[in-house]
Amino acid sequence: MDHLQQLTRQIRRYLLWAILFENIVLIGAWYGLSELLGLPTIACAAIVAGLGFGLTVLITFIASDYVLQPTKALWQAVLHIAPGDHGVAAPNLDALKVGHDLVASLTAEIYQFVTQAEHHPEQSVGSSTELSDAVLKAMPLPVVVLDNQQNIKYANEPTAQYLETTSAELVGKNFYSMFNLLFSSDSTLDNWLSGVREQAALASQTWSRVRMKLNESTKQFDLAAHYSKDNPSGAELTLVLFDHSDQYGQDDQAASLVALSVHELRTPLTLLRGYIEVFEEELKPNLTPELAGFMEKMRATAEQLTAFVSNILNVARVDNDQLELSLHEESWGEVLTAATKNLELRARVRGIELTCEVADGLPTVGVDRVSIFEVINNLIDNAIKYSGNGKQIVVKAQMSKDGQVETTIQDFGVGIPTGVIPHLFDKFYRNFRNRSQIGGTGLGLYLCKAIIAAHGGNIWVQSHEGKGTTFGFTLQPYTQLADEQKNSDNKEIVRGAHGWIKNHSLYRG
Ligand code: ADP
């Protein structure tokens, strides 16, 4: 049975059922009104006619929606690939209740047709295959073409030079075995590709500041990709690299200089904190409450400065892909309580009560103690800084619905406007409303996100302006992590800050 016939039968069946249903309802209504309620025939006829009219209108509306579904999906498919930006998404074929097979086969034909037309530009624009070959060869930028198995089908001479090899060495190899790419966010080439493969026939995308490690050096470039589904030539993906190694390298050097200077602050700071502790121990019993208060503030400020220094150093590590986590089995209640305790003084000097509640029976987690302390430190420090008139901060740990250990830090402070929430985890982002009154760098949340992602968890925020904010993050139970390790070639649980965004699943430790 062909797809069109199938659709015709489907529609007939639906209509038949709908009309049958209407008739049964009307007969039932007639029987109920005349036999059970004993209404006169004229009244029964009027009510049943009204009901019939209402039902017919309703069925017409519902039926037209159903019947038009295939047409709408085809309309979407055509506009989706038509030239120009129509802002129409590819149809979701799984959601189709009628005509699924017909639409799926026609959509495939449309996509095939477009990719063929794209592949034979001479037919549409009157140019020649020789011309395209000549353009590719003369292109002064690295160009790589991949098939749908991600093997290299073509690499021009600049690509070979860029990788310090020859084109013959590249062709036929798996792309990821030759290109060790690192992206600065989780929108990677792989993630994008798996998205477009499901939804589009043609798509393009660009990335900036992509890194590639070669034997001796690190290259940095912007990357452009063009995807073409089921292209008859077998070329699925065309990649063009725009090298910016010099420029981006200079930025990195400037960042390293800052990191180096900040590194030098650590020694005097540690000494300073040591002296403050000695003074506190020796002098506190003899001090007036006012002077003792100053002493506490001095210690809290020195601790804050230490946290700032360690943030800057860690951001430099994240950016240079040098943050390595060593995950160990820990009792989360113990880690969280210890980290929270460290911040009690900082909260107390601001008149804030900091409480920590850990649910019973939490499983152990796999964490890097030093890095996870940074996360808790940053989130509680923010809760203190942005508490406004709020006088309480509640830290809680419990199991989430999907079996992860979830920690929340809730304050009752200034809150965050909805519009700025998507930017909070960006590097250097600071909300303009409070940046003039409250000190900060805009690095804390960026760092928290990188550290939590490297642990294999998620971080999120919920906030109401003027009422307060809750930050939450999840961690994998240790058993899950250990399972992952068992199935991996890499037996050591070591993760980089960019571990989850490496392009190849082999990397995940
Ligand atoms: P900062 O050093 O500025 O605190 P973060 O990256 O830690 O940098 O935070 C980024 C921005 O997010 C802050 O400038 C602030 O506007 C907002 N923010 C973070 N935590 C809170 C909170 N608990 N309440 C209100 N705003 C917050």
Q: Would you say the CB of residue 76 lies under 6 angstroms from ligand 1? A: no
What's the angle, vertex CA 423, arms to CA 422 and CA 426, rounded to 5? Answer: 130
* pLDDT tens track for 338-371: 999 988 888 998 899 999 999 999 999 989 888 8
* pLDDT tens track for 70-112: 888 888 878 777 766 667 777 777 788 888 888 888 877 777 7
Q: How confident is the model at residue 492 (pLDDT cuts 50, 70, 90)?
A: very low
Number of Cβ within a 10 Å radius of residue 64: 10
* pLDDT tens track for 422-442: 888 887 777 766 666 676 778
Q: Compute the half-sphere exposure of residue 303: CA atoms within 13 Å on the CB side of its CA.
A: 20
Q: Would you say the CB of residue 440 lies under 6 angstroms from ligand 1? A: yes
What is the number of the ligand 1 atom nearest to the C-alpha of 414?
A: 25
Question: Global pTM?
Answer: 0.52
Q: For 472, which DSSP code? A: E
Residue indicated by tokens 């930025």: 251
Q: Would you say the CB of residue 417 lies under 6 angstroms from ligand 1? A: no
Is pLDDT larger for residue 314 or for residue 302? 302
Q: For 117, which DSSP code? A: H
Q: Would you say the CB of residue 383 lies under 6 angstroms from ligand 1? A: yes
Question: Which amino acid residue places its CA nearest to atom 17 of ligand 1?
Answer: 431
- 457-471: b or e for each residue (b if 16 or more CB lie within 10 Å)? bbbebebeeeebbbb
